[in-house]
Amino acid sequence: MGDSNAPHHNYTMFKCFNRKFKASVAGPPPDVKDVFSKFAQGGDHMSIDQFRSFLVEHQGESAEALTISDAHTILLDFTTHHPGEAAHHKKHVGGLTLEDFFHFLFLEEFNSPIRRQVHHDMNAPISHYFIYTGHNSYLTGNQLSSDCSDVPIITALQKGVKVIELDLWPNSAKDDVQVYHGRTLTAPVTLIKCLKSIKEHAFDKSPYPVVITFEDHLTPNLQAKVAEMVIQTFGDTLYYPGAEDQMVEFPSPESLKNRVIISTKPPKECSESKSSKDKGGGRSSSEESGSDQEGEAINNANAAEAKSFQQSAPEYKRLITIHAGKPSGELRDALAVGDKVRRLSLSEQKLEKAAEDHGADVVRFTQKNVLRVYPKGTRFNSSNYEPHVGWMHGAQMVAFNMQGNDKYNWLMHGMFKANGGCGYLKKPDFLMYKGPNGEVFDPKKTLTVVKTLKVKVYMGNGWHLDFSRTHFDSFSPPDFYTKVFIVGVPADCGKFKTKIIEDDWIPVWDEEFTFPMTVPELAILRLEVREYNMSEKDGFGGQTCLPVSELKPGIKAVPLYDEKGEKLKSVKLLIRFQFENALSLTT
């Protein structure tokens, strides 16, 4: 009996199993059909003139910048590189069919959700910019036992990071300089290897300046050796003021194109750090990286070698463009704005306390000086923190563990997709505002809604190309849903999720979500696709983060990324973005 039924069961299972191989064919959503009909004026083809009108009136392209000739070039590009998707185009004689139009919308190269060019004013002092900043940039993994290497430095630079942090320590013979996380089991890498890799890859992503921040635990003699290494490695690429006095204003990113600059504490402060700590002063430079005990022996050595400072350290000090310091005594005093510009470093906890007690002072400080924020020392697994606390108060260097794969790292990558991904974002005007009586932006103040973003998630495609057929479910197609977040100042944060589309490789949601925003300049749209699983944790189907300030209106192809931030080859969402303006932001 069992044998005679076997073929029937096998055939039934095969049909069920085979079902998941085939991706359903999804046609254009109703909105896409309506837009096509509107611009094709009811016809079955969209002419080049009509196509240009669509790009300008619906997709947010500039009417001045996009000529008929440009529109023709875009269509030619489309049909040349995607001939199978525009087979009916026939050299534009008839124009685009609805099917062509639908395929066109799904191509990110023609329908990117954000602007790709550098378009911010790059001529203001560096203190007027948020800068893409790494923390312990040499670590390959956790903060306690991972290897130190130049590889994560190269990776960070290629992603657009513009501030690289190196912890400098003497080797065992005290005759060379190594980079590692002090008082841990991290295996060192030589400083010279890190410097050479920075030189080779500093401008892979953009020509704007790279800042190297040294956390210095060296004797004056080794500081002099560092100065020699830096000068020999970077040559004319290295920018430094040339005088020992601090600057009264920082240079601009534009004036520092293709240059490397150094930021660290002046040597005199390093040699005095032991005595200042004994007197109840601030944290040592090593504690800026999160450890409460690092550097004690080195500080003793510095004190012992104070006499050699005059002979060996001035060359090192001369190379410092951004003078760094530690908060000593009262935090409010450390935030005082003086004649000379400088950098101050605060841990994420100290920033939160400063924001709570002295928010206006922090904003005032960051209008002229540089504030660096770094992860607390207990983040042994290289996790990260909420970056918006720093950004809301004007902090230029919100330093992140770039090797982490957490959602905060996704947000950081998303924020710095803005301004062409060049690593420098001009701070919003309200953070630079200063009233006649010295009043500045108050991050605690409740602001009015100035802009509303509407996000309509139509559909998604590409999972069947990028994932194995059994990746999400062994016996049926996946059950996808999309989570839609706005992350920004507290008043603007919101989250929604679409319905679950069962058993479909090409899910169609066709749902719209509305986000009123008070500070859209700091808002990030976070999208995450999940695959519903009743018995286990929902599967991960891709994510992306996009700066709201850069979103282009219209129907866009939005590519998704994996958990490590690598772009998935085929997976995209089709989304419409619409903005409604309210009042202008006033301070």
Domain with residue 526: its CATH number is: 2.60.40.150
Let me know whether 270 and 350 are in one domain. yes
User: Quick one: pLDDT at residue 71?
Assistant: 92
Q: Which residue has the tokens 């809301």?
A: 392
pLDDT-derived band at 565 (thresholds 50, 70, 90) equals very high
Mean pLDDT of 366-393: 96
Q: Tell me the backbone φ, ψ of residue 6, rounded to 5 degrees.
A: -55, -50
Let me know whether 417 and 460 are in one domain. no
Let me know whether 422 and 549 are in one domain. no
CB-CB contact of 479 with 428 (8 Å): no
Q: How far is CA 78 from the centre of its chain?
A: 30
Domain of 50 in residue numbering reads as: 30-105
pLDDT-derived band at 315 (thresholds 50, 70, 90) equals confident
pLDDT > 90 fraction of the chain, expressed in percent and rounded: 75
What is the identity of the amino acid at 581? N
Per the DSSP assignment, residues forming a β-bridge with 487 are 524
Angle between helices 191-201 and 151-158 (to 10 degrees): 20
Question: How much is the CA Rg of the chain, to the nearest whole Å?
Answer: 27
Let me know whether 275 and 305 are in one domain. yes
Q: State the distance between the two ends of the chain, measured CA to CA, in whole angstroms.
A: 83
Query: Which residues are catalytically annotated?
Result: 135, 181
pLDDT-derived band at 341 (thresholds 50, 70, 90) equals very high
Task: Mention every residue, 6+ apart, whose C-beta is less than 8 A from residue 455.
Answer: 484, 512, 513, 514, 515, 525, 575, 576, 577
Let me know whether 358 and 500 are in one domain. no
13 within a domain of the structure (yes/no): no
8 within a domain of the structure (yes/no): no
Beta strands, E only, 287-338:
320-325
d(CA 213, CA 234): 15
Tokens of 289: 């990286």
445 within a domain of the structure (yes/no): no
Let me know whether 244 and 392 are in one domain. yes
7 within a domain of the structure (yes/no): no
What is the identity of the amino acid at 105? L
Let me know whether 153 and 101 are in one domain. no
Mean pLDDT, the chain, rounded, equals 87
| pLDDT (tens digit per residue) in 424-483 | 999 999 999 999 998 999 988 889 999 999 999 999 999 999 999 999 998 899 999 999
Tokens of 389: 């606390």
Domain with residue 370: its CATH number is: 3.20.20.190
567 within a domain of the structure (yes/no): yes
443 within a domain of the structure (yes/no): no
Q: How many domains in the chain?
A: 3
Angle between helices 220-234 and 267-278 (to 10 degrees): 150
Q: How many residues does the chain have?
A: 587
> DSSP code of 295?
T
Let me know whether 218 and 348 are in one domain. yes
d(CA 222, CA 191): 12
pLDDT-derived band at 91 (thresholds 50, 70, 90) equals very low
The answer on pLDDT for 264 being more than 80 is: yes
Question: What's the Cα-to-Cα distance from 243 to each of 16, 318, 559, rounded to whole Å?
Answer: 76, 6, 48
Let me know whether 36 and 167 are in one domain. no
Residue 314, class by beta-carbon neighbours within 10 Å (0-12 exposed, 13-18 middle, 19+ buried)? Answer: middle
116 within a domain of the structure (yes/no): no
11 within a domain of the structure (yes/no): no
